[in-house]
Structure 1
Amino acid sequence: MARAAVRRQGEALSVEQVADKVADAERRERETRQHLDSPASERGPYDVDPEDLAEQWVGRHAEWRRIAALMDAQGWPAYSPERDVQGSTWARERDAQRKGALARRAAWEKERQDARDELKAQVWLSADVSRRLRAIAARTGLEPEQVLAQLADQVRMDDDGTLTVDTFTPR
């Protein structure tokens, strides 16, 4: 995240402006480290996670230094994210990770929705009914649960509320 933020903020900045950003990031990194050492009681109730903030500034400081060194080595008068090969590679990798995470999240949400739509039931049958169900399942090559599921698919409710099932063959 720090790299992406720095790439966005750094576009078209001059060498001097990048040097200012390096100094600012160094100061912020130092301040957030000091904030980490302060007791929790001194922090406000709306403060962000101080460890997370400190890590962000460590990352930003490192990225601003990398960009400053790159600009110096390449002799660039201004930073251009498109010309930054390493930064562009990292950006593509981050986009791929983000897309993968979004796809996994969508699959997980669909799985949860499907699970909510499913009905799992335990059915206690008398010995006689249970034997008949097992016999039907054995003849059709299905599990007893599959026969019951197909039976439930065939049920319809009449206007008077009675349940009926037309003759059907389990498949």
Structure 2
Amino acid sequence: MWSSEDKARDTVRRQGRGLSAGQVAEKVAEAVVRVRETRAQAASPGDWGELGGDPVELAGVWAARLVEWRRVAALLEADGHPTYEPSQDQEGTLWAGEREQRRREALTRQEGWLAQQRDEQDELRAELWLAADVSRRLRAIAGRAGLSPEQVLAQLAEHARVSDSGMVTVEPFLPG
């Protein structure tokens, strides 16, 4: 759901809260080292050692964090704030809002999909073979109503009632 840049922005906003410009500079330096190490690890074949996971992906994560730490360092320098506070970072706050909106939209889509799956579990799909005379009658009824035979059968099923004795009845209705 989130890109490497989104994850880096989120991580930096959380880890950067309350850090001074000097501490942010240390984070920039650490990210520079991590980018170099992960890129070297990604370029070498074979054993990925203690890094674990995909070194190319990890290199991308650290590169995105480096960009974000540098942006925060520049923000502190430009605005003259003694420490980084995410609430004072308009660009970071805007990005965080966009990420949260995408997350909510994804959750809404997932909830819709799950509801659709539940509804489909309750649906009945049936294939049935009817005698020729019954089939002709059904097609004639459907044709007069401007419906498909399947639609007529579905409406017939909707109007069917079962009595206490188990007898199935259908009151007269007009298909439509």
Measured against the shorter chain, the TM-score band is 0.7 to 0.9
Give SS of 1:168's match.
Answer: coil
- 1:28-63 deviation per Cα after TM superposition (whole angstroms, max 9, x unaligned): 1112112212324x136x932323222111111100
Within a 5 Å distance, the mapping from 1:11-160 to structure 2 comes to: 11-40=17-46, 42-43=47-48, 47-153=52-158, 154=160, 156=162
Show the counterpart of 1:5: 11
Matches of 1:110 and 1:156 in 2, distance apart? 29
Give the counterpart letter for 1:8 in structure 2. Answer: R
Deviation at 1:141, TM superposition (A): 3.4
2:171 to 152, 163, 167: 167
Q: Name the SS for the 2:88 alignment partner.
A: coil
| Contact 1:158 1:164 (C-alpha < 8 Å) held by counterparts | no
- Alpha-carbon contact 1:147-1:170 (below 8 Å) kept: no
- Residue 82 of structure 1 aligns to a residue whose secondary structure is helix
2:156 touches 2:170 (CA, 8 Å); kept in 1? no
The list of structure 1 runs, each at least 4 consecutive aligned residues, that deviate by more than 4 angstroms after superposition, is none
Q: Secondary structure at the match of 1:165?
A: strand
* Residues 110 and 50 (structure 1), Cα distance of their counterparts in 2 relative to 1, 3 Å cut: farther
Q: How far 1:77 moved relative to its partner?
A: 1.1
Greater shift, 101-110 or 75-84, is seen at: 101-110
Structure 1: gaps of 5 or more residues: none
Cα RMSD over matched residues? 2.2
Q: How many residues align?
A: 167
Superposition TM-score, scaled by structure 2 size: 0.83
> What is the rounded CA distance, in whole Å, between the counterparts of 2:77 and 2:68 in structure 1?
14
**Aligned-residue offset at 1:110:** 2.0
TM-score by length of 1: 0.85
Residues 13, 79 of structure 1: 8 Å contact kept: yes
Separation in structure 2 between the aligned mates of residue 49 and residue 156 of structure 1, nearest angstrom: 61
Task: Please report how far the alpha carbon of residue 170 of structure 1 lies from its aligned counterpart in structure 2 after TM superposition.
Answer: 4.3
In 2, Cα distance between equivalents of 1:65 and 1:168: 76
CA 48–117 in structure 1, closer or farther in 2 if over 3 Å, else same: farther
| Percent of aligned pairs sharing the same letter | 50
Q: Matched residues in 2 for 1:52 and 1:156: separation?
A: 61
